[in-house]
Amino acid sequence: MVFVTGDLHGNFERFKPKYFPEQARMTKRDIMICAGDFGGVWFGDSRDDETLDWLERLPFTLAFVCGNHENYDALARYPVAEWRSGKVHCVRPHVLHLMRGQIFELESYRFFTMGGAKSHDTNHRINHISWWRQELPSDEEYIEALQNLERYNWQVDYIITHCCPSSIQDTFSGGLFQRDALTDFLDEVRERCRFQYWFFGHYHENMVVEKEFVMLYNQIIRLK
């Protein structure tokens, strides 16, 4: 089984059995994907351990793309490994950061991941303390994303990001949200890639946009 949910921001209440009873039938082969703003790696030291160890004890594997509210310096210190044909940071054996520009093969489906988003309150934040410039992809990450999509002939089943393409952002916000390099890049992916559904977080609502774009916040969806 594969499930997808939205922003967590370090609050994992939704994974308690009383809120997510489906986990009684799950094993570590089953996967919960968070569409960014995971927030479980925040302090970058032993203060994260209690929460991360609790997540590791859950009966399923928790995987996440990065959002704009992550400690990127701390994430980068975790070892990189190959998992299901793509690269991950191994936060715990079953708590995994799905790195940018990767394509993972899960339950016979292909997932393209491209985390990150631009923060709009950086004037009130401090780089490397409450905000990280790495929230937006590097040139190398964009290149790797394009190379992987070319390798799969621009055909996947699902796309998991934190923000969404500029055109979709414009559709549901009426132009309220500013375009940036990442949302414009995701527009290119939208135009060139064949996919079934695109899941994203970031905007703190649960909404379906133009049928195949699914904005998630606190909702959990099982992929069929």
Chain segment 17-33, per-residue pLDDT in tens: 999 999 999 999 999 99
Q: Tell me how far apart the alpha carbons of residues 178 and 90 are, in angstroms, rounded to a whole number.
A: 33
Per-residue confidence at 70, pLDDT binned at 50, 70, 90?
A: very high
What angle is formed at CA 52 by the lines to CA 25 and CA 199, rounded to 5 degrees? Answer: 65
Nearest to 64 by CA among 28, 82, 39, 29: 39
Percent of the residues in the chain that have a pLDDT greater than 70, as a whole number: 96
pTM of the model: 0.94
* Predicted local confidence at residue 121, as pLDDT: 65
* Predicted local confidence at residue 74, as pLDDT: 94
Percent of the residues in the chain that have a pLDDT greater than 90, as a whole number: 87
Give the pLDDT mean for 173-199.
95
Structure tokens at 122: 């950086």
Q: Is the pLDDT of residue 81 over 80?
A: yes
CB–CB of 181/136 below 8 Å? yes
- Give the pLDDT confidence of 180-190 residue by residue, as tens digits: 999 999 999 99
- Give the pLDDT confidence of 83-130 residue by residue, as tens digits: 999 999 999 999 999 999 999 999 889 999 999 999 876 666 767 666
Per-residue confidence at 224, pLDDT binned at 50, 70, 90?
A: confident
Backbone angles phi and psi of 22, in degrees to 5: -60, -25
